[in-house]
Amino acid sequence: MAVDASLDQRNSLIPDIESLARPTLEERGRQRFCSALRRYAIQDMPDLLKRDFDERVKRRHEARGEALDDALAIERAMKAEPSYRFYSTLRYNAQEMCFQSVQEPIERALPEMIGVARDAAERSPAGGTLRLDPALEMPRYLTSLDVHLTPGCFHSEWVEDDVAQGAVVSLGSRVFSATMNHRSWGGVARVISRWIKHERPDFRPSRMLDLGTSSGKNLVPYVEAFPGVEAHGVDLGAPLLRWGHAVAEHEGVPIHFSQQNAESLDFPDGHFDLIVSSFFFHEIPVKATRKVLKECRRLLRPGGLMVHQELPATGLVDAWEDYFWNWDTDNNNEPFYTAFRAQDPIALMTEAGFDPARSFAQILPDVNAYPDRHGAFAWDEPGRPRHGKGGWYVFGSSLPQ
């Protein structure tokens, strides 16, 4: 049955585009199953796998005089083990199923979604903007595979003004991460913005940039944390940006989205006080990473701050954690994962023109753990929470005033 989108208005004159994909009872059940399966695969199974490694596999190899003291050695030892094969199979299929579980509701609602996105782009009642570049060349590292096993990846467009991939990424990620709506997202941004406000209480950014912004879910918390900030988000995927713009306009949050390659941006020098990203750099080649960081240095104004949330570098974690993070390189269509993590983040930033004395790479405590437990998150602190389980790894730098 067709749904009148105008009846689903909430915070603004733009309807809630996220609510238009209405799954049937059977589809909702499938989504909940996929969410639970993926959560089990990513949260519970790694502990079981680690126990099997410690109690059985490692002891067997040590008895032969073989030291499993780096990620590659652990990978060779575990690759044929039934525990790893079962874990890997379950995790891979759960990943695919999360995104597939939202496709049919999206296909039914796609004409309505496109209509809402067009209306948002034409009227922008919240004051945001959407700037697309149909001539922008997509880099091969984006077009050669479906990153994250997301069908169609981030950039594919099937019809005029398409938002399908924006919907698949956004709604599929809700199933993927067991969150229920857009407003519950942005946990990384809430952690970083809280840390910035505690460490630099006088910092008042007037203009900020989010690289690889996707639908802008990690931009909204910064706008809330720093009232009046002019928020910009860039991404290669037009469907993501159309979707994100519609969501932001519905929420009444003015965000300026533009379709650009972060390796070469069209903003003027010294344009931003704050530059951030979330889970962005491990998706691009190290060669591109170097270009992006140089752009960050060019765009950051004196007194500005750069903070990128990422996956912890190889040199900062033990062999097992290093092995755990590298799973995605071979299994999740993220081929640059391991190469990026092998870099020294301080060295990368120094090469880009940042002062190493003003640069950092650290774990930030998750919600409700900062600043009281800040000292418990040092790299050498016994029992330090792992990235993604109580803390978030960030690297960045700042410029002198």
Determine contact, residues 132/161, Cβ cutoff 8 Å: no
Q: Write the burial class of residue 1 (CB in 10 Å: 0-12 exposed, 13-18 middle, 19+ buried).
A: exposed
Determine contact, residues 310/343, Cβ cutoff 8 Å: no
Token pair of 162 as six digits: 């398409």
Name the 3-class secondary structure at 312.
coil
Report how far residue 336's alpha carbon sits from residue 283's, in angstroms, rounded to the nearest whole number: 6
Q: Strands 300-309 and 272-278, how do they pair? A: parallel
Residue 8 has pLDDT above 50, yes or no: no
- In Å, how far from its chain's centre is CA 360? 20
Size (the chain), residues: 401
Assign 373 a pLDDT band (cuts: 50, 70, 90).
Answer: low
- What are 164-173's pLDDT values in tens digits? 999 999 999 9
Q: What pLDDT is stored for residue 70 in this prediction?
A: 94
- What are 318-337's pLDDT values in tens digits? 999 999 999 999 899 999 99
pTM of the model: 0.91
Residue with tokens 């060669």: 287
Q: How many CB atoms lie within 10 A of CB 7?
A: 7
- What are 144-164's pLDDT values in tens digits? 999 988 999 999 999 999 999
Q: What pLDDT is stored for residue 9 in this prediction?
A: 42
Domains in the chain, ordered, with CATH?
25-100 (no CATH), 182-398 (3.40.50.150)
Token pair of 311 as six digits: 């996956």
Q: Where are the alpha helices (DSSP H) in 4-153?
A: 25-39, 45-52, 58-63, 71-78, 82-100, 103-123, 140-143
Amino acid letter at 235?
Answer: D
Please list the helix, strand and coil fractions of the chain in percent, rounded to the nearest 5, in that order: 50, 15, 35
Determine contact, residues 397/307, Cβ cutoff 8 Å: no
Mean pLDDT calculated for residue range 117-134? 97
Q: What pLDDT is stored for residue 165 in this prediction?
A: 97
Q: What pLDDT is stored for residue 43 in this prediction?
A: 86
